[in-house]
Amino acid sequence: MGGYRFLEDVAIADVAFEAWGTDLSDLFATAGEATFAVMVDLAAVPAELTRRVRLEADDPEALLFAWLEELIFRKDVDSAVFSRFAVTVTEGPPLTLDATCTGAVIQQERMPMRADVKAVTYHLFAVDRGEDGWRARVVLDI
């Protein structure tokens, strides 16, 4: 099972995290959780709304970047935050991501917002496969 941790002293005006998972599907779900944990307490987000996402890319780095950018786009367009992600990444070529994101429309009184994530950056961005699974390092512009 994957996880994430926020990295101190990596970016001054941004937020950085490292995520890991047993496979790409696990890694992508965990990276989605970490992205929204920057914005809101995930435990405060009710399961009232679902959105499906389907993406393709040539490599894991491009797919993870597109995935996180899509999540930020959905937050901006739908005024929604997500706390649960059912993700399946199928190896290609191309790599294909199919996901269901569960969350709710932002309501400040029920779920006070933290930082507003504007974008994913390429600064220190990395996706690597190791003996124990996959890892990613991400810096978010806030």
Question: What does the alpha-carbon distance between residue 90 and residue 51 come to, in Å, rounded to a whole number?
Answer: 19
Give kind and range of the element (H or E) at residue 130.
strand 126-130
Task: Summarize the confidence of residues 65-81 as an average pLDDT.
Answer: 97
Q: How high is the pLDDT of residue 28?
A: 98
Task: Summarize the confidence of residues 68-81 as an average pLDDT.
Answer: 97
Task: Summarize the confidence of residues 43-65 as an average pLDDT.
Answer: 97
* Long-range Cβ contact pairs of 84-90 (< 8 A, separation 24 or more): 84/47, 85/28, 85/29, 85/32, 85/33, 86/29, 87/25, 87/26, 87/28, 87/29, 87/32, 88/25, 89/23, 89/24, 89/25, 89/28, 89/63
Give the residue among 124, 101, 100, 108 at the shortest CA–CA distance from 12: 124
Task: Summarize the confidence of residues 121-130 as an average pLDDT.
Answer: 94
Q: How high is the pLDDT of residue 122?
A: 94
Domain spanning 18-132: which superfamily?
A: Archease domain (3.55.10.10)
Question: What does the alpha-carbon distance between residue 114 and residue 96 come to, in Å, rounded to a whole number?
Answer: 31
The upper half-sphere exposure of residue 27, i.e. CA atoms within 13 Å in the direction of its Cβ, equals 29
Flag the least confident range among 6-10, 30-34, 70-74, 79-83: 6-10
Q: Where are the domains of the chain?
A: 18-132
Comparison of pLDDT for 9 and 100, the residue scoring more? 100
Q: How high is the pLDDT of residue 6?
A: 82
pTM equals 0.92
